[in-house]
Amino acid sequence: MPLRRVPVDLIYVPFQDELADERAQVLVPVVCHRPLMALSRHIRYGDDSLNDYWPWAEAQGQIRDRKVHLDDWKRKYHQSYWSRCWSASTKPTVTYIDRDRLRLESGLEQTCLAKAADTRWMWVDMSAASASSWDQRSVEKLRHVVRETRRKEFYNPVLHDQYRRARIVRPDSIRIDRIRRLFGADGSGSRGLDIGCNMGYTSHMLQRHGVNMTGIDFDESHLSVARALDQTYGLGTPFVSGRFEQFDASEKFDIVVLLTVMYHALNVGQKEAIDMIKHIDRLDASVLVWESGSYAKREIELIRENSGLTTYLPLGSTQATGKDRELGVFVRPGTPLGESLAARYRRHLAAEFESISVMGSGLQSVHS
């Protein structure tokens, strides 16, 4: 079978999300496989609780003795880590499917371990048909845009092998991992607006998640990259050029994304920031995915006081351009999508995110 090097973040696995409407397994990004990610992080860093792992593994009938089972896994991991024999002999197998995703056919544990080790690209086997579709992802248009605009770096990773070594301002996938873990199987079929979308990284990721995304940014040079990449990925995401403040708010959205954008308005003045929030509120979204500038607490207060998005779920601190920031999600109480996210958060994620929320904003895990 042909071997290809692919971004781990494009690999999707079947998983039964207990909060999804249907009891059937759904395809989720590998980072959303909570049991195996918990096991992988535990083996790699020794710090994650295995509460999510044991019930799942026991239901699969995999365990006779927990200690023996864990020792087995540790040995497998260290063998593959030190000798690379595991990863060298058998590669995970994937199929290239719709929305620019790779469905994992075999090698689940190996892929989760790679993700836990923050591996960004990995070699996989795929069928000749998949390899041929994968190879058709062309970066011709992107090359043209980069040449025309003399671009030297990208804000976020480009998920194409030919740009694997490009200079990236925010190379990590911390934000998108946390957002995808919170969404789980939710959000598919809803409408999303990514304000200040830049090169469209979050728009593209949520589009793969099944959200019908629109991106908006006033910087045409960033949008030209977003559109070129959209062509590479074949996602069909619309990107609008302009200031969000002039965006027609009669269009309604379920999810609004506002990652490190509000501080632009706050730098001009408090009134401008409040105007931006009120304009967001007119979109009637159930959920606002947000990342702060330097003044997280102030942004949180302003959003909660000036919109119906009053429940706040902190997703931990982040860092960018030398500054501490906070990532979180605001929920409009009473909305089905918002309530489902809040339930997943309380049930599975609150402890995890509390432990990494070090901004000291003095907030409890969930505010209603």
Residue 196 in the binding site for ligand SAM (CB under 6 A): yes
- Do 265 and 276 meet the contact criterion of CB atoms below 8 Å apart? yes
What DSSP designation does 245 have? Answer: G
Question: By CB under 6 A, how many residues form the interface with ligand SAM?
Answer: 19
Residue 222 in the binding site for ligand SAM (CB under 6 A): yes
Nearest Cα neighbor of 337 from 187, 181, 178, 185 is: 187
Window contacting ligand SAM (CB under 6 A); options: 14-22, 90-98, 141-149, 193-201: 193-201
Q: Shortest Cβ distance from residue 128 to ligand SAM (Å)?
A: 36
Residues 237-296 that bind ligand SAM (CB under 6 A): 243-245, 259-261, 264
Q: CA 5 to CA 344: how far, in whole Å? A: 33
Q: Shortest Cβ distance from residue 261 to ligand SAM (Å)?
A: 4
Residue 187 in the binding site for ligand SAM (CB under 6 A): no
5 Cβ partners below 8 Å, 6+ apart? 121, 122, 123, 124, 161, 164
Q: Of the two residues 202 and 232, which places its CB atom closer to ligand SAM in the complex?
A: 202
Q: Of the two residues 75 and 323, which places its CB atom closer to ligand SAM in the complex?
A: 323
Q: Of the two residues 114 and 195, which places its CB atom closer to ligand SAM in the complex?
A: 195
Residue 162, both tokens: 């030919």
Angle at 278 between CA 272 and CA 282, to 5 degrees: 145
Window contacting ligand SAM (CB under 6 A); options: 33-41, 70-78, 136-144, 211-219: 211-219
Beta-strand (E) ranges in the chain? 3-7, 11-15, 26-29, 93-97, 101-106, 121-126, 191-195, 212-217, 239-241, 255-259, 287-291, 311-320, 323-331
Residue 154 in the binding site for ligand SAM (CB under 6 A): no
Residue 217 in the binding site for ligand SAM (CB under 6 A): yes
Residue 198 in the binding site for ligand SAM (CB under 6 A): yes
Binding site for ligand SAM (CB under 6 A): 155-156, 195-196, 198, 201-202, 216-219, 222, 243-245, 259-261, 264
